[in-house]
Chains A and B, each alone.
Chain A
Amino acid sequence: MSDLHAHSARYVRDSMLPPEAPPALESGAIKWLRENLFSGLLNSILTVLGLLTIAYLLKLALPWFLHGVWNANSLGECRQVIAANWGEGAHGACWAMIRERWNQFLFGFYPSSEYWRPILALLLLFLALAPVLFDEMSKKLMGAVAVVGVLVLWLSAYNGQWLPVGILVIIAGVTAFVGSRGRHWPQNLMWFSLVFPALAFWLLWGGTIWLPVMVMAGFIVGGIALRIATPMIGLMPALAFAVLAAFFWWYFAAGPATDALAAMSGRNQPFWLRRVNSDEFGGFVLAFTIGLSGIAISLPMGIVLALGRQSDMLLVKALCVGFIEFIRGVPLITLLFTASLLLNYFLPPGTNFDIILRVIIMVTLFSAAYIAEVIRGGLAALPRGQYEAADALGLDYWKAQRLIVMPQALKISIPGIVSSFIGLFKDTTLVVFVALLDPLKGITDAVRASIQWKGIYWEPYIFVGAIFFIICFSMSRYSMFLENKLKREHR
């Protein structure tokens, strides 16, 4: 065929006709409209009805939003301004309440001189999350970092507390330096993710720095014990030994060591921060503290429970099934009441077990049970051949789980896991029932109890709802990003 050209064939077309544009009805916006909105009589009617409904709702709600007042000192003032601007009987939102009280929505009754601590904790949280959530730097991640930076800057400026800004600048400098040196930027910050829980605890609750340091030291003790014991007695006994060693450290050594060091350093900066009690927490600081702790602990716990449920060992299996079914069988509020009231009856008199800690434990257990079931679904979706291939290569149970089974099962379970996380975060508002000031009802009620804002109804809920939406929607988008990334990789 290759020698078939104009010389040997009688006729060969050498100029091609230009492609014609497709008919107008079959392209662009018109085609899209025809296909998606007006593809038949019924659909056309539904489209028109839908548009009318939207228009009607907008007509009702839009003026309320547009008439919003930002500058006023009370609801009464708001109403006067609206009446003056838009006539008697006009409706309008009174956003001035948020302007006045938004610090309370964010921080609850956290002492205002210490606002920089939760702000700094939030800032560091993003730094700690980066290596966990992303494995490479991207423009989008850079953008997210910039947004967070601006947010912190603004929060700090608003409160006149510049310490977080200074630290932000230092961190930005360090990251820029590290980022320019190696391409593993978020990954080599993993150590910070591990230290962050202790740091955040200290920032939020204050007190002496030695307590979180000594608690962290327990992990180091365990790690050293594991490293020394593994060559001598094998991995599993060594693991048990390490857990025992860490436990002994926490139970016997950590307390006295903390006291001794605290006595030495006294209440001098930077070893001491003003103590903030749990009942001063509130608003989104509280929601974040409970929600993120719950999320961070419930995922590994859920994995262990899911594996336990599949175990051949009868006792392990029975315990896991019993735990999961019990927790899933009772409402979260039951567990919260147990945490706040019942637990005190069982603990020895005089023990004061922090209420936020108790709530975190209950929320974590609750979410772990659901996550265990989600992961079990992922495990069930794996073909048997994967287990067999891992076995046939001589991988032991834990290696097979870690290298072959979990990466695939977790990938399948991502949407379910993230749904559980979103549910958990929203459920943090239920702590209002154990007298903690959640942003939705606790703080809103506190605001509405004041004489200036008595009678305000929609605005606080819309504001709190909007913040919840932004956070939950971000989680949902992250889950989709992760799914797409893994899909692209594995195909």
Chain B
Amino acid sequence: MSDPHAVTREINRSHMQVSDEVAIQITNMNKWYGAFHVLRDINVTVNRGERIVICGPSGSGKSTLIRCINRLEEHQQGKIIVDGIELTNDLKNIDKVRSEVGMVFQHFNLFPHLTILENCTLAPIWVRKVPKKEAEATAMHFLEKVKIPEQALKYPGQLSGGQQQRVAIARSLCMKPRIMLFDEPTSALDPEMIKEVLDTMIELAEEGMTMLCVTHEMGFAQAVANRVIFMDQGQIVEQNEPKEFFNNPQSDRTKLFLSQILGH
């Protein structure tokens, strides 16, 4: 297996514990775009502390699935319960879930008209009503964690892609979320920047964060994930712990996908 971003360092697993408490429960969820059936009968339960990697060919619905979890996309059938709150059309519930669930996007989506620090303090100040001073202290703490405190007063356009993605992670963390969603966080990055972002994500996992991550970084999946979900054509085809998943895939589609993604 020749993975350019294979994780070589030792992972500290002391805090990586999966509890019995359910963080996200998705039952019989279906979603359509118009007449197109994007997600079919999705059933997933995520316990607190789990680190789940979702993979699959493009168009398989993996991004749509995690975007349903904070209702950037609406589902038409079934139930999604996040942190005990069911996602319905109730806007209050949606905003509550969104402030508890952090999300990192493929294209960072930083706010270009605000400085890095302002990007990080905006939501805590306006949603959580944290005093400005305190929000700034928190923001600096997380910026230090993602190792770019010195960029705090710059604008996003002045940073490299990898730095921007780390800011995006810090921005989510400033809301003190209990769950983090990653939607292909490294797909828009140059190869040399992927590692810095993955390192940040690994550190997050080491602290016991519940994570759902859509990614093609199989090295990351092997090192950090406790479960890998493989999706194709809107269905969950197979899910297993990483070792079993990579070494002993069950379905033909999984085998085909793995051979394509790993066998350069």
Chain A interface residues toward B at CB < 8 A: 383, 385-386, 388-389, 391-396, 399, 403-404, 407-408, 411, 486, 489-491
Scan residues 69-124 of chain B and give those whose CB is less than 8 A from a CB of chain A: 70, 72, 91, 95-96, 98-99, 101-103, 105, 107-113, 122-123
A residues near B126, Cβ cutoff 8 Å: 395, 399, 403
What total count of A-B pairs have CB within 8 Å?
68
B145 CB to nearest chain A CB (Å):
18
Contact A490 B155 (CB under 8 A): yes
Q: Please tell me if B11 contacts chain A, counting CB pairs below 8 Å.
A: no
B128 CB to nearest chain A CB (Å):
8
Q: Please tell me if B175 contacts chain A, counting CB pairs below 8 Å.
A: yes
B residues near A491, Cβ cutoff 8 Å: 155, 157-158
In the bound complex, what is the Cα–Cα distance between A391 and B113 (angstroms)?
17
Q: What are 9 A-B interface contacts by the 8 Å CB criterion?
A: A385-B108, A388-B72, A389-B103, A389-B110, A393-B122, A393-B175, A394-B99, A395-B123, A489-B155
A residues near B171, Cβ cutoff 8 Å: 393
Contact A391 B105 (CB under 8 A): no
Instruction: Take A393-B175, A394-B123 as given contacts and tell me if A408 and B113 are in contact as well, using a CB distance cutoff of 8 Å.
Output: yes
Residue from the list A392, A408, A486 in contact with B70, Cβ < 8 A: A392
In the bound complex, what is the Cα–Cα distance between A489 and B114 (angstroms)?
9
Task: Please indicate which of the listed interface residues B102, B103, B109 has the most CB atoms of chain A within 10 Å of its own CB.
Answer: B109
In the bound complex, what is the Cα–Cα distance between A388 and B183 (angstroms)?
12
In the bound complex, what is the Cα–Cα distance between A393 and B173 (angstroms)?
10
Contact A395 B127 (CB under 8 A): yes
In the bound complex, what is the Cα–Cα distance between A489 and B122 (angstroms)?
18
Contact B127 A394 (CB under 8 A): yes
Scan residues 134-172 of chain B and give those whose CB is less than 8 A from a CB of chain A: 155, 157-158, 171-172
A residues near B111, Cβ cutoff 8 Å: 386, 389, 404, 408
B residues near A386, Cβ cutoff 8 Å: 109, 111
B residues near A399, Cβ cutoff 8 Å: 126-127
Contact A388 B105 (CB under 8 A): yes
B153 CB to nearest chain A CB (Å):
11
In the bound complex, what is the Cα–Cα distance between A460 and B111 (angstroms)?
51
Instruction: Take A385-B109, A490-B112 as given contacts and tell me if A391 and B175 are in contact as well, using a CB distance cutoff of 8 Å.
Output: no
B155 CB to nearest chain A CB (Å):
5
Contact A394 B95 (CB under 8 A): yes
B261 CB to nearest chain A CB (Å):
26
In the bound complex, what is the Cα–Cα distance between A388 and B101 (angstroms)?
13
Closest 5 CB pairs of A and B: A394-B99, A389-B109, A385-B109, A393-B123, A392-B103
CB nearest neighbor in B for A393? B123
Contact A393 B91 (CB under 8 A): no
B residues near A490, Cβ cutoff 8 Å: 112-113, 155, 157
Apart from A490-B157, A491-B157, list 7 A-B contacts with CB within 8 A. A389-B110, A392-B101, A392-B103, A403-B122, A408-B112, A411-B113, A490-B155
B residues near A388, Cβ cutoff 8 Å: 72, 105, 109
B residues near A411, Cβ cutoff 8 Å: 113
Instruction: Take A389-B110, A391-B98, A491-B155 as given contacts and tell me if A396 and B91 are in contact as well, using a CB distance cutoff of 8 Å.
Output: yes
CB nearest neighbor in B for A386? B109
B residues near A407, Cβ cutoff 8 Å: 113
In the bound complex, what is the Cα–Cα distance between A403 and B127 (angstroms)?
12
Contact A393 B127 (CB under 8 A): yes
In the bound complex, what is the Cα–Cα distance between A443 and B103 (angstroms)?
63
B71 CB to nearest chain A CB (Å):
8
In the bound complex, what is the Cα–Cα distance between A491 and B157 (angstroms)?
6
B residues near A394, Cβ cutoff 8 Å: 95-96, 98-99, 123, 127, 175
B169 CB to nearest chain A CB (Å):
13
Contact B112 A392 (CB under 8 A): no
B174 CB to nearest chain A CB (Å):
9
In the bound complex, what is the Cα–Cα distance between A395 and B123 (angstroms)?
7
Instruction: Take A394-B95, A403-B122, A491-B157 as given contacts and tell me if A385 and B107 are in contact as well, using a CB distance cutoff of 8 Å.
Output: yes
B104 CB to nearest chain A CB (Å):
9
A154 CB to nearest chain B CB (Å):
42
In the bound complex, what is the Cα–Cα distance between A489 and B153 (angstroms)?
11
A residues near B95, Cβ cutoff 8 Å: 394, 396
B residues near A408, Cβ cutoff 8 Å: 111-113
CB nearest neighbor in A for B95? A394
CB nearest neighbor in B for A394? B99
In the bound complex, what is the Cα–Cα distance between A459 and B223 (angstroms)?
84
Contact B112 A391 (CB under 8 A): no
In the bound complex, what is the Cα–Cα distance between A486 and B112 (angstroms)?
11
Task: Please indicate which of the listed interface residues A389, A392, A486 has the most CB atoms of chain B within 10 Å of its own CB.
Answer: A392
Task: Please indicate which of the listed interface residues A386, A388, A393, A491 has the most CB atoms of chain B within 10 Å of its own CB.
Answer: A393
A134 CB to nearest chain B CB (Å):
18
Contact A392 B72 (CB under 8 A): yes
In the bound complex, what is the Cα–Cα distance between A408 and B157 (angstroms)?
14
Instruction: Take A396-B91, A404-B111 as given contacts and tell me if A391 and B72 are in contact as well, using a CB distance cutoff of 8 Å.
Output: yes
In the bound complex, what is the Cα–Cα distance between A411 and B112 (angstroms)?
12
In the bound complex, what is the Cα–Cα distance between A411 and B103 (angstroms)?
27
